[in-house]
Amino acid sequence: MIDRTKFYIVLVILVISGYSCTKTQLDKDREIIEKYIADKNLDALEISNSGMFYVIERPGGSQHPNAYSLVTVNYVGYLTDGTEFGHDDTVKLSLPQTIMGWQMGVPLIGEGGRIKLLIPSQYGYGNNEQGDIPKNSVLIFDIDLILFN
C-alpha cells in the first residue's frame, strides 16, 4: 500500500510540473514576435504587457480614432516569414468588426499616421485558420490611417 501511495504522489508531482512547464500559445507567440523584432532591428513597444507590439512609423495628427471608429486605411498583412496574406488600399473598415489587434493598435496613431502591428494569435484569429492564415499565427500589419470618424 505504501509503494502504491508513493507512486501516486510521484505521478501527481510529475503531472503538475509538466503543466507548469508547458508554454502557453501567448508565450510561444511572444518568442516569435521578440525574435522578429530582433531580426528586423525594430524599436517596438508593447501594449500593456499584452504580448502585442507596435512601431509607430509616423504618428499622424493629434486626434486619434477609438476602438469604435470607422477608419479608412491602406494596409498590408503578412506572416513573420514574409508571406503576404492580404492588402488593400483606401478601404473603409469599422474597427469593432476587425480583429482585436487592430482595435488595440490603430487608435495609437492619428490621421496620416503609419503603424506596424505585431499581433499575437489570440488578438488575431486564434486557433482558427482564416483563408491562407494558419491557426495560431502571429500577424504583422503595416497600416496607413488615411482618415477616421
Walking along the chain (149 residues) 10 residues at a time, the average pLDDT comes out as 51 44 92 98 97 98 96 98 98 98 98 98 97 97 98
Residue 59 lies in a domain: yes
Give the domain extent around 47.
Answer: 23-148
The confidence score (pLDDT) of residue 15 equals: 43
Whether 46 is covered by a domain: the verdict is yes
Please report the pLDDT score of residue 4 as a whole number.
56
**Dihedral, CA of residue 85, residue 91, residue 97 and residue 99, to nearest 10:** 30
Q: Which pLDDT belongs to residue 7?
A: 46
Alpha helices in 22-147 (DSSP H): 25-39, 100-105
Per-residue pLDDT at 21: 59
Does residue 7 fall inside a structural domain? no
- Indicate the SS3 state at residue 2: helix
Specify if 99 maps to a domain. yes
Does the residue 10 lie in any domain?
no
- Is the residue at 18 inside a domain? no
Tally the domains of the chain: 1
Q: What is the pLDDT of residue 22?
A: 83
Q: For position 110, which CATH number holds?
A: 3.10.50.40
φ, ψ for residue 92 (rounded to 5)?
Answer: -95, 130
Q: Is 67 within a domain?
A: yes
pTM for this predicted structure: 0.86
Tell me whether residue 126 is in a domain.
yes
